[in-house]
Amino acid sequence: MKKSIVLVGFMGSGKSTVGRRTAKLLNCPFIDSDNLIEERCGSINTIFETQGEKQFRIIESDIIKEVLIQKKMVVFSIGGGGFCSSRNVKICLDNAVIFYLNCTFENCYDRIRRNENRPLAKKGKKWLMKLYNSRLPYYNNAAFTIDSDKSVNETAKEIILFYNRIKKS
């Protein structure tokens, strides 16, 4: 069986757009953890407001595990905090090839600052920059780091190039 591809990275790094394109090029299903959470549990904003971030992380972690232990190859993009616990890092590394979409803080911030659907994006630039820096050690557990400050197509093609190399080795 081919291993799934997991895309990780900060909010606004392009995981969903690049993931969708990568899946299309590979002709395999695309799954977005946030979409799956919203389908099952309602909006992420509401989950944060009514149940708190801790409960959101539990739901997120369960979904990551569920998607990755099923035996189908998928391209899976997970929320910016989904790769930031040792438990989730292990599940991902054991079951998939992980690509970190590396995007500068300024570019991520530009893309998320006006977005109403991300509860953490409302916390202000300074706070977000600290969060960004605190997550880098987790993201660096990925097998590959891909610079995502280029076109969606180029980024997706680079992911596929690296993925095909490991399949052969």
Name the residues that contact ligand S3P, by CB under 6 A: 11, 15, 34, 44, 79-81, 118-120
Name which of 149 and 164 has its Cβ closer to ligand S3P.
149
Q: Minimal distance in Å, beta carbon 97 to ligand S3P? A: 19
Name which of 34 and 158 has its Cβ closer to ligand S3P.
34
Q: What is the C-alpha to C-alpha distance for residues 95 and 158, in angstroms, rounded to an integer?
A: 21
3-class secondary structure, 151: coil
Q: Which residue has the tokens 């232990």?
A: 69
Nearest-CB residue for ligand S3P: 79
Residues in the chain: 169
Q: Minimal distance in Å, beta carbon 162 to ligand S3P? A: 21
Cβ distance 32 to 16 under 8 Å? yes
Q: Minimal distance in Å, beta carbon 164 to ligand S3P? A: 26
Name which of 26 and 80 has its Cβ closer to ligand S3P.
80
Name which of 25 and 120 has its Cβ closer to ligand S3P.
120
Q: What is the C-alpha to C-alpha distance for residues 14 and 169, in angstroms, rounded to an integer?
A: 28
Q: Minimal distance in Å, beta carbon 66 to ligand S3P? A: 16
Q: Minimal distance in Å, beta carbon 79 to ligand S3P? A: 2
Strands (E), the chain: 4-8, 30-32, 75-77, 96-102, 144-147
The CA distances from residue 19 to 3, 6, 35, 41, 78, in Å, are 15, 8, 13, 22, 10
Name which of 23 and 81 has its Cβ closer to ligand S3P.
81
